[in-house]
């Protein structure tokens, strides 16, 4: 299965943003300026995980770190499973805490320029990014909503 580029996923999220806000699962919609937790799940075949993670850390994670410096993302954390599970089948989970919905759109617009600035050899970047996508067998995104414990 071909991986879905983050830029495409962010475009879909932005396009759906207004309908997502109106289709909240809570009775009271969250404030427009509230943090948006996003979990991105990656499935990578056995024997390819180290290569995928190396490429992710070298070529994609620095872009997310730049968004942290720019104030678009409050935090980025990468998790891997401690134990294997059949379902849901993921190997890495990246949790992004976006500043708000507008930050997601702003990140989508700024990402190509950030990439060009960080990686002047675009052919090297594109080869590595393509390889990372080839290694993924699946990727999906969940927008999370905190549930009050009390």
SS3 per-residue string spanning the chain: CCCCCHHHHHHHHHHHHHHHHHCCCCCCCCCCCCCEEEEEEEECCCCCHHHHHHHHHHHHHHHHHHHHHCCCEEEEEEEECCCCCCCCCCCEEEEEEECCHHHHHHHHHHHHHHHHHHCCCHHHHHHHHHHHHHHCCEEEEEECCCCCCC
- In order of their start, the domains of the chain are 6-17+35-143 (3.30.70.100)
pLDDT in tens, the chain (150 residues): 555 555 655 555 544 454 444 455 555 666 778 999 999 999 999 899 999 999 999 999 999 999 999 999 999 999 998 887 777 889 999 999 999 999 999 999 999 999 999 999 999 999 999 999 999 999 999 999 888 898
Given this model, what pLDDT does residue 4 score? 58
């Amino acid at each position: 299965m071909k991986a879905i580029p983050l830029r495409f996923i962010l475009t879909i999220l932005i396009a759906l943003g207004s309908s997502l806000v109106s289709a909240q699962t809570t009775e009271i919609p969250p404030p427009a300026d509230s943090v948006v937790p996003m979990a991105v799940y990656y499935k990578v075949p056995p024997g390819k995980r180290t290569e995928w993670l190396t490429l992710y850390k070298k070529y994609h994670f620095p872009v997310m770190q730049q968004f942290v410096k720019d104030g678009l993302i409050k935090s980025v954390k990468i998790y891997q499973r401690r134990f294997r599970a059949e379902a849901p089948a993921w190997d890495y989970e990246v949790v992004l805490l976006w500043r708000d919905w507008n930050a997601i759109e702003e990140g989508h617009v700024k990402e190509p320029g950030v990439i060009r600035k960080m990686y002047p050899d675009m052919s090297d970047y594109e080869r590595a990014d393509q390889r990372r996508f080839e290694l993924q067998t699946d990727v999906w995104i969940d927008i999370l909503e905190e549930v009050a414990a009390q």
